A and B are shown apart, each in its own frame.
Chain A
Amino acid sequence: MKIVIIDYGAGNIQSIKFAIERLGFTATLSDNPEEIRNADKVIFPGVGEASSAMRKLKESGLDSLIPELQQPVLGICLGMQLMCNYSEEGDTEGLKIFDVDVVRFRESVKIPQIQWNSITSLKGPLFENVENNEFIYMVHSYYAPVTDETIAVCEYGIPYGAAFAKANFYGTQFHPEKSSSTGAQILKNFLEL
């Protein structure tokens, strides 16, 4: 199986590569459109600020490639947020895959949220063999509200979308590569889609 992690200079991609290797697979880091298009599975990571990450995607033309991909695609953290319509962070137009806008947590909670949160209302193959209320690692200041495309819910002051799915596209606000055995199971589920 050919797994490509999109390398556009935004994110902790080494950890994702290692997490995939711990599951017995290998992954290639690439920003080459041809290589990404030919992969069996594509991982779209992201850490940092939305508008500058989006700018990097545009520079390499990946902003038009990603929404057209046909194979399973998993966006992680900022990757997931960029797959949404729009983000308040840096007033950023997204890839418009998930039909939701990303907004900032209100000041009644500590920002960023940095904690192990528990996921509920799990739906679909990404969460096979994962129980409600298992813990995953969250670190973020912006969130996508719950919609029809939400496949896992977390709570931080309010309920919000911990994961989304639409056709071949998946996105997790949490970091499966940093979420211990639960995260490993979710990553494994994605690779086995």
Chain B
Amino acid sequence: MFVVRRSLFVLINMIVKRIIPCLDIKNGRTVKGTNFVNLRDAGDPVELAKVYSDTGADELVFLDISATEERRKTLSDLVLRVASQVNIPFTVGGGISSVDDVDILLKNGADKVSINSSAVKRPELINELAAKFGSQCVVVAIDAKYIDGEWIVHLVGGKVPTTLNLFDWAKEVEQRGAGEILFTSMDNDGTKDGFANEALARLSDTLNIPIIASGGAGNKQHFKDAFTEGKADAALAASVFHFGEIPIPELKKELKAQGISVRI
């Protein structure tokens, strides 16, 4: 037993943790402001993506929140432009609800897609995507809130509660073929008080697919805690990166100094 525990411990330390900036996109433009001084066009997701890939981001997530008729075409055009400029993996999410949606995004160069509400509404979509494109392409995003002692899955950016329990839904998602889970705690999101490490650790302990932590990043220590206490495989954040509060090279240097495996 001692030997098994020890080898697991070594393995957890060995996994190289990923730092993932998330870019919110509306009509092909970044939504939240940035204060990168060297950008010619701060609203251009491609320029921002390139800055991140050049400064050590391990992956990128583009979350499309457009609600226009042309959204599909705008998004697939953007994916093509990102793929032409960026040499690290990226995930695209937002409004994806069919195999055809995913097909065009992957063909244009996205590495993974992230689905959320559409998976709750029709869980078979996860099976269909995993069978057609492979589990490694399928990230299921789960937004949850802690209510009366239970983590409840929410939809529409946390506005609409479901009857699903986070851990039950996460297990189902894994069984249906998801390759990764992107868990956002609605209680932590925007607080800058740190990630929901207890829930993250429970997800990591009960599932055998990588878990991406999201919601609550405010300082470098929060990332370290998400990787150690939260046992997350990757950590995602938006504003702390976009506003330069935590430069990624400094974050990775600090994580490495604290014994976390990162790519530098």
Contact = CB atoms under 8 A, between A and B. Distances in A.
Describe A's contact surface by its main secondary structure.
mixed
Contact of B136 (A47, A108, A116): A47
A135 interface: yes
B89 interface: yes
B18 to A, nearest CB: 7
Contacts of B85: 18
Contact of A140 (B83, B107, B136): B136
Interface in A42-80: 47-49
Interface in A80-109: 107-109
Nearest to A187: B87
Interface string B12-43: 00111010000000000000000000000000
Contacts of B135: 112, 141
Contact of A139 (B87, B133, B136): B136
A137 B89 contact: yes
Contact of A107 (B7, B16, B80, B208): B208
Interface in A11-47: 12, 14-15, 18-19, 21-22, 47
Interface in A140-193: 140-141, 155, 157, 175, 177-181, 183-184
Given A18-B109, A21-B84, A114 B14 contact: no
A48 B209 CA distance: 17
How extensive is the interface on chain B, given as a class?
35 or more
B58 A47 contact: no
B209 A112 contact: yes
Interface in A92-136: 107-112, 114-118, 135
Contacts of A47: 133-134, 136-137
Given A14-B107, A141-B135, A141-B136, A116 B87 contact: no
B53 A180 contact: yes
Contacts of A114: 18, 136, 179-180, 210, 233
A42 B109 CA distance: 20
B8 interface: yes
Contact of B208 (A111, A116, A137): A111
Contacts of B108: 14
Contacts of B47: none
A48 B83 contact: no
Nearest to B264: A135
B217 to A, nearest CB: 20
A67 B8 CA distance: 40
B65 interface: no
B208 A110 contact: yes
Contact of B16 (A14, A135, A139, A175): A135
Interface string B209-240: 11000000000000000000000010000000
Interface of B: 7-8, 11, 14-16, 18, 53, 58, 80, 83-85, 87-89, 106-111, 131-137, 179-180, 208-210, 233, 263
Closest 9 CB pairs of A and B: A14-B109, A116-B263, A135-B263, A48-B134, A18-B84, A139-B136, A15-B109, A115-B16, A178-B89
Given A135-B263, A141-B135, 7 more contacts: A15-B109, A18-B83, A21-B84, A109-B11, A110-B210, A112-B135, A117-B16
29 contacts: A12-B109, A12-B110, A14-B80, A14-B83, A14-B107, A15-B109, A18-B83, A19-B87, A49-B131, A49-B134, A108-B7, A109-B11, A110-B210, A111-B209, A112-B136, A112-B179, A114-B179, A115-B18, A115-B210, A116-B18, A116-B58, A117-B16, A118-B16, A137-B89, A139-B136, A179-B87, A180-B88, A183-B87, A184-B87
Interface of A: 12, 14-15, 18-19, 21-22, 47-49, 107-112, 114-118, 135, 137, 139-141, 155, 157, 175, 177-181, 183-184
